């Protein structure tokens, strides 16, 4: 992959040419008209202001599916780095983190400093600035719990402002920012507890692996180490030598069903046993997409055409197994899976990544 961080410029004549596949963890995606890298918040604002529409903000490329035709405009790579404490007291610290800071470097630093709140989000690829976009979450933690504000450049108003967390519309794998190109995230503020211990462990699989009960706390470093181990076992930590990690992580979100749809699912799946489910607010029930996919006949490792396959370690991850697959191959497999799940259970699956210049 070209080293975009080495070229923190927005000058048109220094733009980096080339296909976008090299900038995505899926390793698919056609060319862009221009690719420019921004090494600071000011450069990011300048690059977005200077570019003719359309503009795509791209950071780690770990949650995007870019069409084979590429992007017919300017791609701005987020390469700003840095983290500083902006407030602290006896029990907490608030850190402001530049959008391009690699997420797992931040998590590692907070664990090392004895700051609790991000430890269960260890090993997630990508940038810090992208975490508010889909309210990144894993193992019972999500960034909405610790974000206090998001500094943005508002492309409609042409201004910089901090959007308080309460106005970010955080939801399960969503926020006001997802699928909205109005805001460019410049930095994110997190309020973290000063504590050598994690928050109460909420996720049963993680508690089991740590040898504790759900609700107990563990040393931050233990939480991080075990999360990294669990994730690696599922191909959910990027590893250049492991084709199962050539993905966007989970391709589908867990569907959130109203009562009637959930009961219809229970009827249709009666002979299979109840799907793993998590009750939510207003009678809504979140059900396991991996279970639905598996029971609809798609086992781990299931191959599609053109070199794509379901990960051999995780039913929810669709992978560019060969390394030479096209986005169209991946989307064909995704469509086959979601059609079959719908035909079998009456449940619609929704993609988790942002689809750019392509559709499911
Ligand atoms: C192996 C693997 C495991 C994963 N596991 C998880 C997981 O456990 N939980 C989870 O929630 N996600 C997971 N993901 C998805 C992904 O890592 C996260 O969503 C991550 O936050 C994306 O960061 P990124 O920098 O790569 O974003 P990109 O893919 O570059 O961008 C994603 C979207 O955000 C927008 N965007 C990015 N940066 C900015 C910015 N500064 N301002 C405005 N818009 C911006 C882009 O335009 C795009 O729409 C996983 C992905 C992989 C490949």
Condensed to tens digits (0 to 9), the pLDDT of residues 162-193 reads 999 999 999 999 999 998 899 999 999 999 99
* Any atom of ligand 1 within 6 Å of the Cβ of 125: yes
In a mutational test of the pocket of ligand 1, which residue from 23, 39, 42, 59 has the highest number of ligand atoms less than 8 Å from its CB? 59
Residues serving a catalytic function are: 173, 250, 352
Atom of ligand 1 at shortest range from CA of 63: 29
- pLDDT tens digit sequence for 256-289: 999 999 999 999 999 998 899 999 888 899 999 9
* Any atom of ligand 1 within 6 Å of the Cβ of 107: no
Residue 7 pLDDT > 50, yes or no? Answer: no
How far, in Å, CA of 138 to CA of 354, rounded?
18
Q: Which residue has the tokens 């391009």?
A: 100
Q: What percent of the chain has pLDDT over 70?
A: 95
- CA torsion 65-240-209-290 (nearest 10°) is 30
Atom of ligand 1 at shortest range from CA of 236: 1
* Any atom of ligand 1 within 6 Å of the Cβ of 287: no
Nearest alpha carbon to residue 202 among 117, 95, 315, 108: 117
DSSP string across 19-57: BGGGGSTT----BEEEEEEE-SHHHHHHHHHHSPSPEEE
Question: What local confidence, expressed as pLDDT, does residue 215 receive?
Answer: 97
In a mutational test of the pocket of ligand 1, which residue from 1, 20, 63, 122 has the highest number of ligand atoms less than 8 Å from its CB? 63
* pTM exceeding 0.75: yes
Cα 57 to ligand 1 centre (Å): 11
- pLDDT tens digit sequence for 281-310: 888 999 999 999 999 999 999 999 999 999
Question: What local confidence, expressed as pLDDT, does residue 280 receive?
Answer: 86
Query: If 0-12 CB within 10 Å is exposed, 13-18 middle and 19+ buried, where does residue 9 land?
Result: middle
């Amino acid at each position: 992959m070209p080293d975009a961080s080495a070229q923190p410029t927005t000058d048109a004549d220094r733009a980096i040419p080339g296909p976008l596949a090299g900038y995505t963890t899926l390793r698919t995606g056609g060319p862009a008209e221009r690719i420019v890298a921004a090494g600071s918040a000011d450069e990011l604002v300048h690059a977005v202001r200077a570019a003719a529409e359309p503009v795509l903000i791209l950071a780690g490329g770990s949650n995007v599916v870019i069409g084979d035709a590429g992007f017919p405009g300017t791609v701005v790579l987020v390469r700003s780095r840095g983290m500083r404490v902006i407030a602290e007291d006896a029990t907490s610290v608030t850190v402001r983190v530049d959008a391009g800071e690699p997420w797992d470097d931040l998590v590692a630093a907070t664990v090392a400093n004895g700051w609790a709140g991000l430890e269960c989000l260890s090993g997630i690829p990508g940038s810090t600035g992208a975490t508010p976009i889909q309210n990144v979450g894993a193992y019972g933690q999500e960034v909405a719990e610790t974000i206090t504000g998001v500094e943005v450049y508002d492309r409609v108003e042409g201004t910089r402002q901090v959007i308080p967390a309460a106005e970010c519309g955080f939801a399960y794998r969503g926020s006001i920012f997802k699928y909205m190109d109005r805001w460019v995230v410049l930095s994110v503020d997190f309020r973290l507890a000063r504590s050598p211990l994690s928050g109460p462990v909420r996720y049963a699989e993680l508690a089991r692996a740590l040898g504790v009960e759900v609700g107990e706390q563990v040393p931050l470093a233990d939480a991080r180490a075990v999360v990294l181990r669990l994730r690696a076992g599922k191909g959910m930590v990027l590893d250049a030598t492991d084709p199962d990690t050539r993905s966007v992580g989970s391709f589908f979100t867990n569907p959130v069903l109203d009562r009637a749809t959930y009961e219809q699912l229970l009827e249709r799946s009666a002979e299979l046993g109840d799907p793993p489910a998590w009750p939510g607010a207003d009678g809504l029930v979140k059900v396991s997409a991996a279970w639905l996919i598996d029971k609809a006949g798609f086992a781990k490792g299931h191959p599609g055409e053109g070199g794509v396959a379901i990960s051999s370690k995780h039913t929810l991850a669709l992978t560019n197994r060969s390394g030479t697959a096209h986005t169209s191959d991946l989307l064909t497999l995704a469509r086959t899976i979601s059609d079959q799940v719908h035909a079998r259970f009456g449940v619609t699956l929704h993609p988790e990544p942002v689809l750019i210049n392509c559709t499911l």
